[in-house]
């Protein structure tokens, strides 16, 4: 049976073969990039896996490559937060992400899960106590800060491993 008259039901497995050579190269490249990313990620994650209870780790700064800075990763290791009370607007300190948010100035009490309903003033550096700058990397996906940096002592926190 000539190639061109093969029944249509056989075509499923032939999709890649029917692409042009350039398209095939692009697909191969994507695989290579993906494998490379995975190797880098595994290499970075490996030392952390060996000691999952370690409260913090040393993070190489991607800008300078020569300095190391203190850092933490994960919502459970989030720096203390200062939050506006949704009832009286006083500032409430939440020492960790797991603590309840109780206002000292009025009767309002919020569980830690209501963090996203309240307005965050800023996070507080756990190393030097300064206000931290914070931001998001995926505003459509998460409605919590995904990173925070202290400009005084260079402590840095990340919601997730990002590289
Ligand atoms: Zn209040
Ligand atoms: Zn600091």
Q: What is the pLDDT of residues 41-94, one digit of tens each?
A: 556 555 554 454 545 555 544 544 445 568 999 999 999 999 999 999 999 999
Cα 97 to middle of ligand 1, angstroms: 19
Which ligand has the minimum distance to the alpha carbon of residue 131? 2
Cα 106 to middle of ligand 1, angstroms: 4
Cα 149 to middle of ligand 2, angstroms: 8
Coil, strand, or helix at residue 163? coil
Cα 91 to middle of ligand 1, angstroms: 8
Q: What is the CA radius of gyration of the chain?
A: 24
Cα 92 to middle of ligand 1, angstroms: 8
Cα–Cα distance for residue pair 105/91, rounded to 1 Å: 9
Closest CA to 162 of 141, 150, 151, 152: 141
Residues 40 and 60 sit within 8 Å (Cβ to Cβ):
no
| β-pair partners for 123 | 81, 132
Cα 72 to middle of ligand 1, angstroms: 30
pLDDT in tens, 92-128: 999 999 999 999 999 999 999 999 999 999 999 999 9
Cα–Cα distance for residue pair 10/40, rounded to 1 Å: 38
Which ligand has the minimum distance to the alpha carbon of residue 126? 2
Which ligand has the minimum distance to the alpha carbon of residue 109? 1
Cα 20 to middle of ligand 2, angstroms: 54
pTM: 0.58
Q: Cα–chain-centroid distance for residue 108?
A: 30
Strands (E), 76-135: 81-84, 91-94, 101-102, 109-110, 119-124, 131-135
**Per-domain residue ranges for the chain?**
3-50, 57-158
């Amino acid at each position: 049976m000539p190639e061109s008259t093969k029944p249509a039901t056989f075509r499923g497995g032939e999709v890649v073969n029917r692409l042009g050579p350039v398209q095939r190269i692009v697909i191969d490249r994507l695989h290579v990039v993906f494998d490379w990313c995975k190797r880098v990620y595994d290499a970075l994650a490996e030392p952390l896996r060996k000691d999952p209870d370690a409260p913090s780790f040393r993070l190489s700064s991607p800008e300078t490559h020569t300095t190391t800075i203190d850092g933490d990763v994960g919502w459970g290791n989030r720096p203390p937060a200062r939050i506006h009370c949704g009832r009286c607007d006083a500032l409430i300190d939440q020492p960790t992400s797991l603590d309840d948010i109780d206002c000292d100035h009025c009767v309002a009490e919020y569980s830690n899960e209501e963090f996203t309903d309240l307005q965050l003033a800023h996070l507080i550096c756990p190393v030097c106590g300064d206000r931290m700058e914070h931001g998001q990397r995926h505003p459509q996906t998460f409605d919590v800060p995904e990173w925070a940096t202290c400009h005084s002592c260079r402590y840095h926190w990340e919601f997730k491993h990002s590289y």
